Amino acid sequence: MRRKEVQLMKNFKYRLLTALAVSLVAGGTAISVVSAESPSQIQAASVSVAQAKKVALEAAPAGKVVSVDFEAKKDGRLYYEVTILEGNSEKEYKIDARTASILNQKVEAIDDYEDSQLVQANLKLSFEDAENILLQKYPQAKIYDEELDIKAGQIVYQVKALNGQQKIKMTLDANSGAVLQEKAK
């Protein structure tokens, strides 16, 4: 599935679960929804985002990483889904978050205008720069998810990290490093 489709599915699931929770609470019954990326699952990943990117880039050395998504399955599987744009291809690698081995890979032609823009973008900052900006403010944080994206015509890095039990989401301008948005929960 392409990144946009995955994000649309995540947004749909979130809205559906929120609507269900609100309707059940309004009816006098409360439910608890466990996040797919709970702090304990994130902490259980012995492989870092940087290591997952390195493994994927060894398989696609001329590519540009555009996203690393941490996934935790109910059966206990933990992996990173690393998306790399290389030439006219979008390559997706599932990297085991405990062993750093490639579990699965797929290649599709780039058919998205946004991905074409990201391939051609000459950015002043790298993912590592964006990570360092977050880590300056939260030095003990563990980064588990990041994405290069275009929001309102601006190329941004979205970085998610776990700081103790607190989840941090920071959106940064990919050229200036300015923090455009920051959420902590």
Partnered with residue 68 across adjacent β-strands are 82, 146
pLDDT of res. 2: 54
DSSP letter string, 122-182: --SS-HHHHHHHHHHH-TT-EEEEEEEEEETTEEEEEEEEEETTEEEEEEEETTT--EEEE
Q: In what order do the strands lie in the sheet with 142-151?
A: 102-109, 89-96, 78-86, 64-72, 142-151, 154-163, 166-173, 179-184
Q: What share of the chain is helix, strand, coil (3-state, %, to 5)?
A: 30, 35, 30
pTM of the model: 0.77
116-132 residue pLDDT tens: 888 888 899 999 999 99
35-46 residue pLDDT tens: 457 999 999 999
Rounded-to-integer distance, Cα 156 and Cα 170, Å: 10
pLDDT of res. 168: 96
54: enclosing H helix or E strand: helix 49-59
Rounded-to-integer distance, Cα 162 and Cα 57, Å: 24
Residues 6+ apart with CB under 8 A from 169: 158, 159, 160, 181, 182, 183, 184
| 108 conformational bin, left if phi > 0, alpha if psi -120 to 50, beta if neither | beta
Tally helices (H) and strands (E) across the chain: 5, 8
Rounded-to-integer distance, Cα 61 and Cα 78, Å: 24
Say whether 1 sits in a helix, a strand or coil.
Answer: coil
pLDDT tens by residue, the chain, 185 residues = 555 554 444 444 444 444 443 333 333 333 323 345 799 999 999 999 999 999 999 999 999 999 999 999 989 999 999 999 998 899 999 999 999 999 999 999 988 888 888 888 889 999 999 999 999 999 999 999 999 999 998 999 999 999 999 999 999 999 999 999 999 98
